[in-house]
Amino acid sequence: MLSILLFFLETLITTVIAQQQCVPYASNYSFTTGYPPVWQKPTSQIFNTDEFKKLNSSIDWTKVPNIPPRKLVNGALDRSTYPVTDPDCWWSYNLCTTPKAPGLQPDIYMCPEPGTWGISFDDGPNCTHNVFYDYLRANNQRATMFFIGSNVADLPYEAQRARSDNHHLCVHTWSHQYMTTLTNDEVLAELYYTRKVMKEVIGITSRCWRPPFGDCDDRVRAIAQQLNLTTIIWNLDSDDWNMVPAGAKQPAEIDAIFQSFVDMGLNGTYSKSGAITLQHELNNGTMSKAIEWFPKLKSAYKHIVPIASCMNITHPYEETTITYPSFAEYIGTQENNGGTSNNNNAAKKSSSVSIASYSSLISR
């Protein structure tokens, strides 16, 4: 009976999300000065400002490898002339996550804790994410959210919702470019102005970032590291962004990918370490899939945690007054509240939370 009720609940939640539409609004914030235009790659208009010149002069450029920007051909990265030895640890070439240039920290791409699902969502904040965020909150679940600066500028109140729900918030650049194709100034601006708008709207200075499309090399890593940003990639890609109507894949194809993740959790693939997933807050479809598969993933993995907790990063922001739970603290809280522990009693308790919150989930 409970399983039937849960099925109808999840179907109704998914339907509500699918029916939501973005409604633009005016906020108390103005980003017409001191920032690049939203959804535009920064240009000399920004580079010539006193603020950016001061920022640029603060960077130790001797620590940034002299790697020429990559090229795009018909919208895709050109890998045709790149050396097979991968001298620059170019992730888009062979998924390299251990830098070859001296002094650079390795990328975070997996959780070290066995049986753990590091949950993360790119491309937020989204204007229709309230039902999705309500669902996460009802299940006592935090996640790592990689925010696009232009989205934060356009949707500041949605960004604030993420902070109030205590999600772990990271940079996902200003305008979502292939970062290795940009000049040094463009890379610096994409990262800096995203951190700036997040500080102005949310009140935090993030210490983590994820490159759009995963596109990163040692030059880009070095610039990010100068801003005290740790590079976070992933080792499981849901490909949810590519689901129709936004992309080319049918929902069943995305379901098959998620089912493979469930299988990995059950068959011991992650018995000695954990995963970091790439999912998206991109649109109603990707958020619906997240809700649909969350209970199945929870039953397949011992723990579902934000990346900060899976890496025991207790100070994810430069504001030292803000702390985040360690792995042990996070899973202790989850288990005490019927969150993500992989046992029947915890699963039943978490399901009852979802059912009890049904009214609030569909009222948005």
Residues designated catalytic: 122, 280
Contact 233, 208 (CB under 8 A): no
Residue type, 1: M
Residue whose entry in the numeric block shows the structure tokens 């960077």: 59
Its sign, for the CA torsion 346, 132, 238, 333, is negative
Rounded Cα gap, residues 49 and 241, in angstroms: 36
Q: Is 223 helix (H, G, I), strand (E, B) or coil?
A: helix
Strand ranges inside 283-342, DSSP E: 303-305
In Å, how far are 125, 150, 308, 321 from 361, measured between CA atoms? 18, 27, 27, 32
Q: Is 282 helix (H, G, I), strand (E, B) or coil?
A: coil
Cβ of 87: how many Cβ atoms within 10 Å? 14
Contact 146, 282 (CB under 8 A): no
Q: Is 214 helix (H, G, I), strand (E, B) or coil?
A: helix
Rounded Cα gap, residues 200 and 287, in angstroms: 26
Rounded Cα gap, residues 213 and 229, in angstroms: 17
Residues present in the chain in total: 364
Rounded Cα gap, residues 248 and 353, in angstroms: 35
User: Is cis: bond before 245, omega within 30 of 0?
Assistant: yes
